[in-house]
Chains A and B, each alone.
Chain A
């Protein structure tokens, strides 16, 4: 499962998998094997490496508060749909919601595509993510080649709106 957290204008792209009694958390190309339990609602105790960490998490209306090691952090889940929409309006482009590898490009420059058509496949943590055309139009520029690394927020390709 992919999760994006925003803290102080920085987006943290995290992946977590649960296998039996362990959580595998991947952040910044490092995987952490975590043994965790929720002692009380919002109160976590987890073991990572040889460290035991206690943390308390509460949810506000829009944000989460994390207390860990004597400090409090306020984070927001990233609303990527809103994020993308804003960018589309401004520049008419498409950005990647995750960091991963471009495994397949289904279109080439100049192609006309219909709204909803698959344009690009990005793989991250053994999962695939499809970039679909948000509207019908023409492909103007593809910014990546197959097997290239793509980071969250990077623009995958540019396309013009039909008739626009």
Chain B
């Protein structure tokens, strides 16, 4: 099928694997692509495969991939009809979307108004409540006297959470299990918040027991057609960032899936959402679900939905933005099999997940049936500290969850990234964990089971020792053999030249 109105040329305002993903979708559809890049990315894969490239110069994000005037000017100069923002950077920046609209360049995503609304967590929640989408019961009002707060707390029920409005990092946060402890908890949260943030305003929220992060993929065209493409289970997170995503979720029943899917569609319709988006829910231990927020972009983890539904989300983004109608009907969609995504990060899991930088001396991704690699890396590439440490995504697909976990472990075991520390061995341990295998995952999973995880210090296995010795034996020249004595001019080995094996001679 041909798309008559599809764009001729678009600019991709991003880098790394997502820029590569979008450029490849464009290539399939016959759309010319313009890549932008900062100085440190001049050899990056997205630059190599694009039709046109423009240098942004200074690699600091604010001067490059976040620089709206620079990017808008480039888009105009090269004659791009649309801009795809990818994820991160400017993807959820309403000013950027508006700047595009202002000069008649199509922003591939929802309208600036919708981005703005969803960026305001409280306004979004109110909007969702009005659309009958369940939200976490709570009080975010201005009445901060103890009596009002206690009354609101009773309405919410227990356990509940007292949260500092200005909070972060658990400061000024209290879990309250019963009414008689409410007043003292409010007071101590206020005190803590006052001293930590200089503001003692608190919120009250229902405390979610065994919370899971489950999100629904949405596609909506510009004619009011909206569908969901089922869920993604994203509970396995570290420092609030997802590391393993899967679909279907091991706990969702067909009934719950339908209810949550309908709620996600209702949420999107309530704000007049267009293009691809994601409605995030919190699901508690009793399978109650609550709206958390809506991500107005293509998600990092979109490939698992593509694997299980057969729908190409990146292409649909382009089609919808160019004015095509959404021809997929909800009833035509089904989930088939199971998909997992692992995010490969340049970070050290045994050292607080700190990012690691350096030169990738070797990159060799694993390949095989139903293994998908979305990457933006190559052997010889320098990993800098300018951008996100996510190197690549590894996605596997199998008939069922148990088989797929095995496939992913296989794929990770054959995934070679040398030169910087990665989280690959950590990912394998998570997948191998008995609770993960049972599907018992919550957003506390990593903290519960891997808090002080370090790579098992079992030393070098004999195979590594043999490999090194053979390698050094093949590659050594006489100079190197005497390496450890070379600073010593009196070394007998200097005079000998080469090591003698099995010789009788004694000096």
> Interface residues, chain A, CB within 8 Å of chain B?
1-5, 7-8, 10, 12, 14-18, 23, 25, 27, 32, 34, 36, 38, 42, 44, 46, 48, 53, 55-60, 64-75, 77-82, 97, 116, 121, 126-130, 132
Contact of B435 with A by CB under 8 A: no
* A5 to B454 Cα, complex, angstroms: 22
Q: Measured between C-beta atoms, what is the minimum distance from A120 to chain B in Å? A: 12
Size category of the B interface is 35 or more
Q: A1-B476, A67-B362, A127-B501 are in contact. Are A48 and B425 (CB under 8 A)?
A: no
* A12 to B459 Cα, complex, angstroms: 10
Q: Are A18 and B473 in contact (CB under 8 A)?
A: yes
Q: A7-B459, A75-B460 are in contact. Are A65 and B419 (CB under 8 A)?
A: yes
A79: chain B residues at CB < 8 Å are 483-484
27 inter-chain pairs at a CB distance below 8 angstroms, sorted by A residue, are: A1-B476, A1-B499, A5-B465, A12-B465, A16-B472, A23-B473, A27-B469, A32-B466, A42-B471, A44-B470, A48-B466, A55-B463, A56-B418, A58-B418, A60-B361, A64-B468, A65-B362, A67-B416, A70-B428, A73-B460, A77-B484, A80-B485, A81-B485, A81-B487, A127-B503, A130-B507, A132-B490
The main secondary structure of chain B at its interface with chain A is mixed
Q: Are A14 and B414 in contact (CB under 8 A)?
A: no
Specify which of A5, A16, A56, A128 is in contact with B506 (CB 8 Å cutoff).
Answer: A128
Q: Measured between C-beta atoms, what is the minimum distance from A130 to chain B in Å? A: 5
The main secondary structure of chain A at its interface with chain B is strand
Q: Measured between C-beta atoms, what is the minimum distance from A135 to chain B in Å? A: 11
Specify which of B467, B472, B488 is in contact with A46 (CB 8 Å cutoff).
Answer: B467
B466: chain A residues at CB < 8 Å are 23, 25, 27, 32, 34, 46, 48, 53
Q: A16-B472, A56-B362 are in contact. Are A127 and B500 (CB under 8 A)?
A: yes
> Interface residues, chain B, CB within 8 Å of chain A?
358-359, 361-362, 364, 412-414, 416-419, 421-422, 424-425, 428, 457, 459-474, 476, 481, 483-488, 490, 492, 499-503, 506-507
B459: chain A residues at CB < 8 Å are 7-8, 10, 12
Q: Are B419 and A68 in contact (CB under 8 A)?
A: no
Residue from the set A18, A64, A70, A82 with the largest chain B CB neighbour count within 10 Å = A70
Residue from the set B471, B476, B487, B501 with the largest chain A CB neighbour count within 10 Å = B471
Q: A44-B470, A58-B419, A70-B428 are in contact. Are A4 and B500 (CB under 8 A)?
A: no
* A151 to B410 Cα, complex, angstroms: 40
Specify which of B418, B469, B476 is in contact with A67 (CB 8 Å cutoff).
Answer: B418
Q: A60-B359, A78-B484 are in contact. Are A25 and B413 (CB under 8 A)?
A: no
A1: chain B residues at CB < 8 Å are 472-473, 476, 481, 499, 501
Specify which of A14, A72, A97 is in contact with B465 (CB 8 Å cutoff).
Answer: A14
